[in-house]
């Protein structure tokens, strides 16, 4: 997978390093999606922030697939995550790590905590736990496990497969510094003895995340703030196992229309849907980096500029708003600044093959200035290259009135008798002369001619269209419309 920052590395003369607890540490970050669904843009933004911070500091960026929930995992979702990384060009260091390959490792750490009396077997049944919660709620207390098996030394109840709970602190506070939100303080009694291994022996999320982050050498954990209250539990695991804490940064969510949670309708779609909609990867990354982070008033960032300026401490503490118009604006910018060779190759994904087309340069020069997505570009170019199979009824009603048929018929003759026609300026001159000869306004020929050429009103300059398809195709399309008018009026 090609590294999109290889050019940036060539500019680096000194590897930046970070001091953690007085020691020199290479920055190591990670993105750790669960393969229970496709990668959406919120996840891609989190991955981008981790990627930028690691690469800016000459560190490592790792990918971990958190697939411990075997009942909900999807091989298709895992494949889509990897495809999304490939599409946007964010390469990760080493192979992707799969938690499902590490169950034996987790079991060893569970046993270690049991042996050190930092965890214990809990034989409380689901029915007992439900009853306890109902009692607590009736007393208007926060539902929580009451620690009844924390120091249990008796005979285990028969027929109960126990879970394993970690011994959380009973008093004091859990305090950590968040790079975005500042000092976070949680009272110890807000965290009960949470489960680290289920009754079937499988480990739980907060337990394996802490172990993996520690063993994979994470120095900085940048993730969504929906994980903020998982952090105290993970800190308990870190301290129980004697692991060094990373720096935490909890990124506020992306909001949709009206300040609501981002929905699929608003834009929380599969990242690869953006490719299918015709967005360029650099436009999507530029859009995402600005959803919660800024550098002055700058809006357009190359990858090199992101790497030069990005710092997770500068991420806004408040939620950001998804703006589809902003994304379209950025995408149109990157389309306009893409080479025609690249655009021609990308348009093949939309069923348009222009690499050997003799009017490729004219086509792409025209439409890269008009279109906001590759999909839109492909559709509009096809509209020019392919004769219309039908005509917009409103356009027909507006354009084909009065003497429009006679004017089109006369224009066909004008085209057929014209001298060499090749460039758009050649066709524009023919149009100018025709309007003068007929003593008509340009709209008299312009609207019906446009309907004949592309089946509707609107679209690019008529001289450009005629130059692209040539005089004989132009005449043929006009005759098709004239035949259509004859048939419909019969």
d(CA 355, CA 221) in angstroms, rounded, equals 45
479 is an annotated ligand-binding site residue: no
Q: How far apart are CA 56 and CA 58, in angstroms?
A: 6
Pairing label, strands 163-166, 119-122: antiparallel
In sign, the C-alpha dihedral spanning 472, 474, 475, 479 is positive
**Alpha carbon separation from 175 to 171, 194, 222, 232 (Å, rounded):** 13, 18, 18, 8
Q: Using DSSP, state whether 194 is helix, strand or coil.
A: coil
Rounded distance, CA 379 to CA 350, Å?
8
* Annotated catalytic residue, options 264, 336, 345, 401: 264
Q: At which residue do the structure tokens 């990005």 appear?
A: 310
Closest CA to 29 of 190, 175, 247: 247
The token pair at 122 is 């809990």
User: Would you mind telling me the total number of residues written for the chain in this entry?
Assistant: 490
Task: Let me know if 359 is a catalytic residue.
Answer: no
CA distance 367 to 380: 8
Q: What does the alpha-carbon distance between residue 153 and residue 481 come to, in Å, rounded to a whole number?
A: 92
Distance CA 423, CA 467 (A): 6
Q: Which residues are annotated as a binding site for ATP?
A: 264
Catalytic residue list: 264
Q: Which residues are annotated as a binding site?
A: 264
């Amino acid at each position: 997978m090609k590294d999109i920052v290889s050019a940036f590395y060539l500019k680096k003369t000194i590897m930046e390093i970070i001091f953690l607890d007085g020691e020199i540490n290479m920055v190591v970050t990670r993105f750790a999606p669960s393969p229970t669904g496709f990668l959406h843009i919120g996840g891609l933004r989190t991955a981008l922030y981790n990627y930028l911070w690691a690469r800016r500091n000459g560190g490592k960026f790792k990918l971990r697939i958190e697939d411990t929930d075997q009942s909900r995992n999807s091989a298709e979702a895992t494949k889509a995550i990897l495809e999304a990384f490939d599409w946007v060009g964010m390469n990760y260091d080493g192979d992707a790590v799969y938690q499902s390959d590490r169950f034996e490792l987790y079991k060893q750490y569970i046993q270690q905590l049991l042996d050190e009396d930092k965890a214990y077997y809990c034989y409380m049944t689901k029915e007992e736990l439900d009853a306890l919660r109902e009692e607590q709620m009736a007393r208007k207390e926060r539902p929580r496990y009451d620690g009844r098996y924390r120091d249990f030394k008796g005979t285990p109840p028969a027929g109960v497969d126990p879970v394993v709970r970690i011994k959380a602190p009973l008093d004091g506070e859990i305090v950590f510094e968040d790079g975005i939100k500042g000092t976070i303080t949680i009272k110890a009694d807000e965290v009960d003895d949470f489960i680290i291994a289920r009754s079937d022996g499988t480990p739980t999320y907060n337990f394996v995340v802490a172990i993996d982050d520690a063993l994979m050498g994470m120095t900085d954990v940048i993730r969504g703030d929906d994980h903020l209250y998982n952090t105290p539990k993970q800190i308990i695991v870190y301290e129980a196992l004697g692991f060094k804490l990373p720096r935490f940064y909890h990124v506020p969510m992306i909001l949709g229309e009206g300040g609501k949670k981002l929905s699929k309708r608003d834009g929380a779609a599969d990242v690869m849907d953006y490719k299918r909609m015709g967005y360029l990867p650099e436009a999507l990354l530029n859009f995402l980096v600005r959803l919660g982070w800024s550098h002055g008033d700058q809006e357009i960032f190359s990858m090199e500029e992101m790497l030069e300026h990005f710092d997770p401490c500068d991420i806004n503490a408040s939620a950001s708003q998804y703006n589809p118009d902003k994304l379209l604006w950025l995408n149109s910018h990157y389309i306009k600044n893409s080479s025609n060779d690249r655009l021609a190759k990308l348009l093949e994904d939309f069923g348009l093959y222009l690499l050997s087309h003799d009017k490729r340069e004219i086509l792409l020069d025209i439409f890269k200035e008009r279109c906001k997505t590759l999909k839109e570009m492909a559709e509009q170019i096809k509209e020019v290259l392919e004769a219309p199979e039908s005509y917009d009824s409103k356009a027909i009603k507006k354009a084909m009135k009065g003497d429009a048929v006679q004017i089109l018929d006369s224009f066909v003759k004008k085209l057929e008798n014209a001298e060499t026609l090749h460039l758009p300026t050649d066709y524009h001159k023919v149009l100018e002369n025709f309007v003068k000869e007929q003593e008509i306004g340009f709209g008299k020929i312009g609207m019906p001619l446009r309907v004949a050429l592309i089946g509707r009103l609107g679209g690019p300059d008529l001289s450009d269209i005629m130059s692209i398809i040539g005089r004989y195709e132009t005449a043929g399309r006009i005759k098709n419309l004239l035949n259509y008018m004859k048939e419909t009026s019969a």
